[in-house]
A and B are shown apart, each in its own frame.
Chain A
Amino acid sequence: MKRDFKLYWKLFASTFYLSAFTFGGGFVIVPLMRKKFVEELHWIEEKEMLDMTAIAQSSPGAIAVNASIIIGYRVGGILGAFVSVLGTILPPFIILSVISHFYTQFRDSAIVAALMHGMRAGIVAVIADVVVSLAEGIVKERKVSSVLIMAGAFIATYFFHINIVFIILAAALIGLILSITAKQERKDGEKQ
């Protein structure tokens, strides 16, 4: 990829646009980014997108900001990271600066409530769509460990509300142990 003005502008415009529609928490930006950067622009591969999400999730701060830092860095280096962070923080910055002057009217507006109500149903569909695609990818790997980790992580976070950081650390440890034992098995096999 040529790192010229066009690339940085595209990066800024994309992150600005995505951030303006990230309602309902940081995870909503993941399906949006996947659609844009994996499927439309082909800048990033699906697996890499998941790795980036894991990094964004395990770092402190807002997931959307963290994800845009790492995508920007990947696409356009340090400058790319700053450009995409700017794109991500500007929409909420502008919207909140304006709204903070008349927020009671905004909060009590029935039209805004109706818009949000409809959008929430849309967000459910958007997340369901990306979960189906990603889970399909995991199941197709035909690795029992991956499916077990996926189910275990879901139960831990949804039913037991275990802090996400602990879940990520536990999975990382499991992954590390699996990779080490797999290596030893192969070595044992070579000896025989």
Chain B
Amino acid sequence: MTLLLKLFWAFIQIGLFSIGGGYAALPLIQEQIVEKNGWLSMSEFVDLVTIAEMTPGPIAINSATFVGTSIAGVPGAAVATFGVIVPSLIIVFTLAYVYYRFQDLKQMQGILGALRPVVVALIASAGLSILKLAFWNGGAVSLEKTNVTSVIIAISAFFVLRKFKTSPIIVMIATGLIGILLYLL
């Protein structure tokens, strides 16, 4: 029981302090799971990050499930996952309430009008980071080291998305299958 409570508390902190999404949460997860509580060794933690990258879903949820399962089975996974979303639930509900209550205010319109272009910029920036990972495997950007197949797949997929308005999920599945096909050939 105390273990479950400890898990819950550790993941509440991870949920509460990981602002900015994705990899901003990593040092925090490491501190709670490896250093403070010793639930995973450092090499297990590195494995966790690798697996989180290879599976869908937020890294915080992935870590909660992974750590919870490995130290306390399915109940552990459930408790840790619930812990990580509790802060989100409270804060997003509050902000959503404020948004819908005051969205017609002149000042609120001004704030939202300035935030929309920021969101577009943030998505573009995240996309560019993934592009570097896909085309240059995270290494230095150079013409010789470019992964030409990835570039061709990405450009064709972009064309299909723009031209035929195909569902992004279908496109992602298709490019994944092309990846396997190219490997097997």
A residues apposed to B, CB below 8 Å: 17-27, 30-32, 35, 39, 47, 50-51, 53-66, 69-70, 73-74, 78, 81, 85, 88-89, 91-93, 95-97, 99-100, 103-104, 106-107, 110-132, 134-135, 138, 143, 145-147, 149-154, 157-158, 163-165, 167-168, 171-172, 174-180, 182-183
A19-B125 in contact (CB<8A): no
Given A62-B21, A125-B171, A153-B121, are A176 and B88 also a contact pair (CB < 8 Å)? Answer: no
CB-based nearest B residue for A50: B116
A157-B125 in contact (CB<8A): yes
A120–B56 Cα gap in the complex (Å)? 12
A-B contact pairs, 16 of them (CB 8 A): A27-B126, A55-B99, A62-B25, A85-B89, A92-B57, A95-B57, A96-B66, A104-B47, A125-B171, A126-B161, A126-B168, A128-B158, A135-B124, A146-B117, A158-B124, A172-B111
Most buried by B among A74, A100, A118, A152: A118
Given A50-B119, A69-B89, A115-B179, are A25 and B22 also a contact pair (CB < 8 Å)? Answer: yes
Interface residues in B103-158 (C-beta closer than 8 Å to A): 103, 106-107, 109-131, 133-135, 149-151, 153-158
B42 within 8 A of A: no
CB-based nearest B residue for A55: B95
A106–B121 Cα gap in the complex (Å)? 34
Given A50-B115, A116-B176, are A135 and B120 also a contact pair (CB < 8 Å)? Answer: yes
| Pairs A-B, 5 closest by C-beta atoms | A118-B179, A179-B110, A92-B57, A175-B114, A122-B175
Q: Which of B2-10, B30-38, B69-77 contacts A (4 or more CB under 8 A)?
A: B69-77
CB-based nearest A residue for B174: A122
